[in-house]
Amino acid sequence: MCRIAGIISTQYNSEELRHKVSLMCDVLKHGGPDDAGIFADTDAGLVFGHRRLSIIDLTSNGHQPMADTEQKTWITFNGEIYNYAELKQQLINLGSRFHSDTDTEVIIQAYLQWGIGAFDKLRGMFAFALYDKTKSLTYLVRDESGIKPLYYSTLNGQLIFASEIRAIKASGIPIADNPDWQINFLAYGHIPEPYTTYKDVYSLPKGKILSLNHQTGQVQIKSYRHHTATSVINDLAEAHHQIKLSLTAAVKRQLIADADIGVFLSGGIDSSLLTLLAAEQKQQGLKTVSIFFDDKAYDESRYQQAVFNKIGGEKYTHLVQQQDFDTFFPQVLSAMDMPTTDGINSWFISKYAVQDGLKAVLSGIGADELFGGYPSFNRIGLLRYLRKLPGSLIKNLARLTDDKYRRLIFLSVDHPLADYLFLRGLFVPADIAAILNCDERQVYEVLFNNESYVSFTKYTPETASLLETNLYMQNQLLRDTDVMSMNHGLEVRVPFLDEDFLQTTYSISPQIRLIKNQPKKILIDTFNDILPKAVWDRPKMGFSFPLQQWMSNHSAIADESFYKNQTAKGVIASFRNNRIHWSKAFALFQLQNHA
């Protein structure tokens, strides 16, 4: 797990390129505190940079950028390949030679053996750049679930890439602000892929490979994963069996590490299940990291204890209070890289995990999206009827003051993103226009000019899963978890997004996988022999902080005089009176902070 950066350009000399990439790596040091490296090919106008967080093969053999023995292929790699040991054995049998025990070298040798077909064989979370000197080709590759970030720009005939937006800015290469990011941010509470805060800087789509031909300058983006059709599982007993086998296997292989690894234990179903499965694999006891609060409405310590009582090991718990939030708030903002209304919880628990001696942890991200853990899985059925209402009625209802009615205005637009924003949107277009002092038509154009989303006609739990996975999880949960954890030099692994587990899960009929009004029932029933009843037989909380109270007590967030726009001032006044959710106030604070 690391941070990567690089530039391919003929507009600068070799020393200038080295300097720029060094600057990029310097601002990424937090994500790779253990080692740094630079590789340059002067003839190609190419420089790769790397910051290392040592997890597998802690020796200097893991230094990157890394090449094969003949130095024909170079790589700068961020991530983990969980099936690297199996691939390595296959490659050895085919004649490949290795000089390290790293998964990085396995990628190089796999590419030399199988070409870009090698990328389809990888199981893990990854984002890397690979340079084939012989063929004058460079590839940028990102994992299928988009767990690891990779940003790039091909502006002015050059390729620049990095694990974080701040690194591209630090290069000194001129990039303009994206004039639309504020609209997207106020609508979503984050900046959805592929967009960023900068114009012409994009997120490489998940499961894609970007190829650059150095001779022609041609850039192509295409999928590298070739899915094979699997038979649908309709038998419930078989579904339970397959889920148990594949999730247990995913946890086992994601525990592979030469550094200390533990589990985030919130007390919910997902983290509790991973903790119990991980404890079965760890022979010397498992380390768990948990947070608790003075506010009993948010305190899950008794559920955490119910799980810990079954496993033993080492339990690390941390009390987080208002004063902690106030003290570390500037650091949280600095860690974000791009504005978001999430991630505060991830920043704190990652800080404590590192403090407790861990370099990697397992997290339960993905289970809610796969097994119906959100209210949207029940609410989406309403869209079937709401979409049939006359447009005039929708607009009249949207004039009401209650947010749940105001968001109906999104349904006046025939676009799948409008359905998502109705379910999860932050501000409605009229408010966004008022806050940004722009035309409301401009807001609609920015939000719904994306034609890459496939339309759907069935408003089923399966559709909710599609929306939650590709929008909320992808753009907010995964991005924020990555940037906040790596700010502390911590690797977060997500077994529910293991490629083989996903294939198993998607082969199960939605009729038995997603049960109305019974969130994650199939997951609970599969593991009812180990999951304590106290954990699953209770209301869902999510990994939440008492942010409504903490932000209302914050000296700047709830101060109306901090905000210049009158509409924003009105929102903050409503927030202080506890009539508006903290996420809206937090979004406006960040917007004002960027002004």
Q: Are 159 and 219 spatial neighbours (Cβ–Cβ below 8 Å)?
A: yes
Residue 543 has pLDDT above 60, yes or no: no
Who has greater pLDDT, 365 or 406? Answer: 365
Domains and CATH numbers, the chain: 2-223 (3.60.20.10), 236-372+469-545 (3.40.50.620), 388-458 (no CATH), 547-595 (no CATH)
Residues present in the chain in total: 595
Residue 540 has pLDDT above 70, yes or no: no
Task: Reduce the DSSP state of residue 175 to 3 states and report it.
Answer: coil
Residue 283 has pLDDT above 70, yes or no: no
pTM attached to this predicted model: 0.95
Structure tokens at 418: 């409008």
Q: Are 574 and 580 spatial neighbours (Cβ–Cβ below 8 Å)?
A: yes
Residue 51 has pLDDT above 70, yes or no: yes
Task: Reduce the DSSP state of residue 245 to 3 states and report it.
Answer: helix
pLDDT in tens, 182-201: 999 999 999 999 999 999 99
Max avg pLDDT among 54-63, 345-354, 551-560: 345-354
Cα 304 versus chain centre, distance: 24
- In angstroms, the Cα distances linking 361 to 30, 117, 261, 291, 358 are 17, 30, 5, 15, 7
Write the CB contacts of 390 (distance below 8 Å, at least 6 apart in sequence): none
Q: What is the mean pLDDT of the chain?
A: 92
Mean pLDDT over residues 239-266, rounded? 95
Structure tokens at 307: 């799980």
Share of the chain above pLDDT 70, in %: 96
Helix axes 416-424, 181-188, angle to 10 degrees: 60
Who has greater pLDDT, 451 or 432? Answer: 432
pLDDT in tens, 114-156: 999 999 999 999 999 999 999 999 999 999 999 999 999 999 8
> In angstroms, rounded to a whole number, what is the distance separating the alpha carbons of residues 453 and 563?
35
| pLDDT at position 148 | 97
Q: Where are the alpha helices (DSSP H) in 189-292?
A: 236-254, 269-281
Residue 541 has pLDDT above 70, yes or no: no
In 89-146, the DSSP E strands lie at: 124-132, 137-142
The residue whose two tokens read 């009615």 is 405
The three-state DSSP-derived secondary structure of 415-430 is: CHHHHHHHHHCCCCHH
Identity of the amino acid at 182: Q
Out of 209-218, 411-420, 490-499, least confident range: 411-420
Where does the pLDDT of residue 396 fall: very low under 50, low under 70, confident under 90, or very high at 90 and above? confident
